């Protein structure tokens, strides 16, 4: 896939002698400083910490404020410094499609991948609800685009996939698809998808906290304060506490050799994914009629890197070399790249594009949240066999603000995972993330709509939604009426 960094550089009149690699490094350095500023602002203003806003998100917003669209554009317009900042932001807009590849390569590595049978037996309700929410987001998004957005706002047909891309995929997927939006003629898609991701993250937290308060008043769950007090009374045995502390300290410190080894493993997963993508391209060319347009060319590298990571992890498990891979190291590398991705993606948001499409954005956000709340209140409670509010909160937040937000809300209401909800939620990920949670189907949705049109895509996703509903009705036990369940 052709890089957009050269395109941006040409737009900014960059000369070949100016060494773009210097500007790329300076962009990453600036992004790191913005994350540091975000972390400091979290400490200075406790409200930001209480809202669970990551330092990278705060740093990204700060980057928008001081960037060429606001402060720098006003104070340093036409100066050499202003031109340099503009070039950095142009490069920053192209970086997410590269940074996301490392994040997805690490997604399924460093952990034992259970069999599909085991996943289904432990997490079937979460899988059904998760897939139901996801397919439904495509269905309502496409219907909304066909009936409202195109007739009244002249929206791009690809807008039908924005709810799922922004809510399910989060910042990483929304930004990682940057090249695809441009290739398919949806230039504002990058900014709209990131706007959806930002709204989804904030909405998941705010609505989730409101749902926690509602559940507490209805006596469905204990308040977070009650849980903290109970856990303080339940002291961990001293021997167990010491062993846990020793393990945590050992995992915190790792050598440069170990760090580069784990980064090399991620690079290997990326190479496997790149090879797989090239192979699919060749196969597609062989079977397509001359002059026909294929779909594989529009699929970005990051879902393939995820598959490469799964293949590599299965190989490591087959060779019984799991002890050589430290999940903490992979987690640290992955999250470092994700933080950089988030800060550059938000900082390079086009305020002009958001302002020009605010009605479309507002309608999509309201529709997406409404669908997720309908599933949370009307469908999910009938499928969970215990702790419906805790489990429902996790799946609602996951489908509104991506995986980390779901885990965050479950941790608030059940920090010790006494209900088993967090374990089941995590168990579903191997059969979920590679496919829909920012995975293969999420990356394929835009090319699919582009190839077969909105009506064809509506049929595909409606069939998938019906199949999930049938699986839920057939497989899961419906609870007896008016049960007294606590989380």
Q: 3-state secondary structure string, the chain?
A: CCCCHHHHHHHCCCCHHHCHHHHHHHHHHHHHHHHHHHHHHHHHCHHHHHCCCCHHHHHHHHHHHHCCCCHHHHHCCCCHHHHHHHHHHHHHHHCHHHHHHHHHHCCCCCCCCCCHHHHHHHHHHHHHHHHHHHHHHHHHHHHHHHHHHHHHHCCCHHHHHHHHHHHHHHHHHHHHCHHHHHHCCCCCHHHHHHHHHHHHHHHHHHHHHHHHHHHHHCCCCCCHHHHHHHHHHCCCCHHHHHHHHHHHHHHHCCCHHHHHHHHHHHHHHHHHHHHHHHHHHHHHHHHCCCCCCCCHHHCCHHHHHHHHHHHHHHHHHHCCCHHHCCHHHHHHHHHHHHHHHHHHHHHCCCHHHHHHCHHHHHHHHHHHHHHHHHHHHHHHHHHCCCCHHHHHHHHHHHHHHHHHHHHHHHHHHCCCCCCCHHHHHHHCHHHCCCCCCCCHHHHHHHHHHHHHHHHHHHHHHHHHHHHHHHHHHHHCCCCCCCCCCCC
Residue 119 shares a structural domain with residue 176: yes
**Residue 293: closest CA among 281, 304, 303, 301:** 281
Structurally, how many domains does the chain consist of?
Answer: 2
Residue 351 shares a structural domain with residue 447: yes
Torsion of CA 234, 416, 322, 111, to 10 degrees: 180
**Residue 364: closest CA among 135, 144, 207:** 144
Residue 88 shares a structural domain with residue 116: no
179-233 pLDDT, tens digit per residue, is 889 889 999 999 999 999 989 988 988 898 889 888 888 877 765 555 555 544 4
Considering the domain boundaries, does residue 25 fall inside one? yes
Considering the domain boundaries, does residue 29 fall inside one? yes
Alpha carbon distance 39, 181 (integer Å): 32
Grade residue 166 by pLDDT with cuts at 50, 70 and 90: very high
Residue 90 shares a structural domain with residue 116: no
Considering the domain boundaries, does residue 106 fall inside one? no
Considering the domain boundaries, does residue 285 fall inside one? no
209 token code pair: 């906290």
Considering the domain boundaries, does residue 253 fall inside one? no
pTM score: 0.78
pLDDT for position 425: 84
Considering the domain boundaries, does residue 49 fall inside one? yes
Q: Is the pLDDT of residue 102 over 60?
A: yes
Residue 125 shares a structural domain with residue 196: yes
Residue 362 shares a structural domain with residue 428: yes
270-285 pLDDT, tens digit per residue, is 999 999 999 988 988 8
**Residue 135: closest CA among 457, 385, 477, 476:** 457
**Residue 334: closest CA among 108, 25, 36:** 108
pLDDT for position 476: 56
Residue 207 shares a structural domain with residue 151: yes
pLDDT for position 418: 82
**Residues 125, 432: contact at Cβ < 8 Å?**
no
Considering the domain boundaries, does residue 107 fall inside one? no
Residue 81 shares a structural domain with residue 117: no
How many residues does this entry show for the chain? 487
Residue 136 shares a structural domain with residue 44: no
pLDDT for position 293: 67
Alpha carbon distance 36, 211 (integer Å): 32
Residue 90 shares a structural domain with residue 140: no
Range of the structural domain that residue 219 is part of? 112-225+347-475
Looking at 81-95, 147-161, 416-430, 442-456, which range is the least confident one?
Answer: 416-430
Given 68, 94, 120, the domain boundary residue is 94
Residue 116 shares a structural domain with residue 217: yes
* Average pLDDT, integer, range 444-452: 91
Residue 58 shares a structural domain with residue 152: no
Considering the domain boundaries, does residue 215 fall inside one? yes
């Amino acid at each position: 896939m052709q890089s957009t960094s050269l395109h941006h550089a040409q737009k900014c009149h960059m000369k070949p002698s100016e060494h773009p690699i210097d500007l790329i490094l300076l962009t990453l350095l600036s992004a790191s400083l913005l994350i540091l500023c975000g972390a400091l602002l979290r400490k200075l203003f406790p409200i930001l910490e209480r809202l669970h806003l990551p330092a990278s998100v705060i740093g990204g917003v700060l980057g928008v404020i001081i960037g060429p669209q606001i402060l720098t554009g006003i104070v340093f317009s036409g100066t050499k410094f202003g031109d340099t900042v503009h070039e950095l932001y142009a490069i920053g807009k192209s970086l997410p499609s590269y940074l996301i590849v490392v994040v997805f390569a690490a997604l399924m590595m460093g952990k034992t991948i259970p069999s599909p049978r085991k996943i289904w037996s432990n997490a079937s309700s979460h899988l059904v609800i998760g897939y139901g929410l996801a397919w439904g987001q495509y269905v309502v998004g496409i219907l909304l685009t066909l009936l409202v957005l195109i007739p009244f706002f002249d929206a791009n047909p690809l807008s039908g996939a924005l709810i799922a891309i922004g809510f399910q995929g989060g910042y990483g997927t929304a930004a990682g698809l940057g090249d695809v939006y441009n290739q398919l003629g949806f230039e504002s898609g990058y900014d709209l998808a990131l706007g959806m991701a930002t709204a989804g993250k904030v909405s998941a937290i705010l609505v989730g906290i409101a749902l926690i308060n509602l559940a507490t008043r209805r006596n469905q769950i204990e308040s977070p304060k009650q849980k903290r007090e109970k856990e303080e009374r339940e002291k961990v045995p001293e021997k167990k506490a010491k062993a846990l502390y020793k393990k945590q300290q050992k995992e915190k410190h790792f050598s440069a050799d170990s760090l580069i080894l784990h980064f090399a493993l991620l690079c290997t997963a990326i190479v496997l994914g790149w090879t797989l993508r090239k192979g699919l391209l060749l196969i597609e060319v062989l079977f397509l009629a001359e002059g026909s347009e294929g779909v594989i060319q529009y699929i970005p590298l990051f879902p393939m890197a995820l598959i490469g990571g799964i293949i590599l992890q299965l190989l490591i498990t087959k060779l019984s070399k799991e002890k050589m891979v430290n999940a903490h190291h992979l987690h640290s590398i992955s999250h470092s790249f994700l933080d950089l991705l988030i800060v550059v993606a938000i900082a390079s948001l086009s305020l002009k594009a958001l302002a020009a499409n605010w009605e479309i954005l507002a309608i999509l956000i309201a529709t997406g949240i409404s669908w997720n709340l309908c599933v949370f209140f009307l469908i999910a409670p009938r499928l969970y066999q215990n702790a419906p509010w805790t489990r429902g909160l996790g799946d609602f937040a996951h489908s509104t603000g991506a995986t980390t937000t779901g885990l965050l809300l479950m941790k608030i209401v059940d920090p010790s995972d006494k209900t088993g909800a967090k374990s089941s939620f995590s168990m579903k990920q191997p059969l979920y993330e590679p496919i829909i949670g920012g995975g293969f189907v999420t990356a394929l949705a835009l090319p699919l709509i582009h190839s077969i049109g909105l009506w064809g895509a509506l049929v595909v996703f409606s069939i998938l939604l019906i199949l999930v509903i049938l699986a839920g009705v057939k497989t899961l036990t419906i609870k007896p009426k008016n049960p007294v369940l606590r989380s």
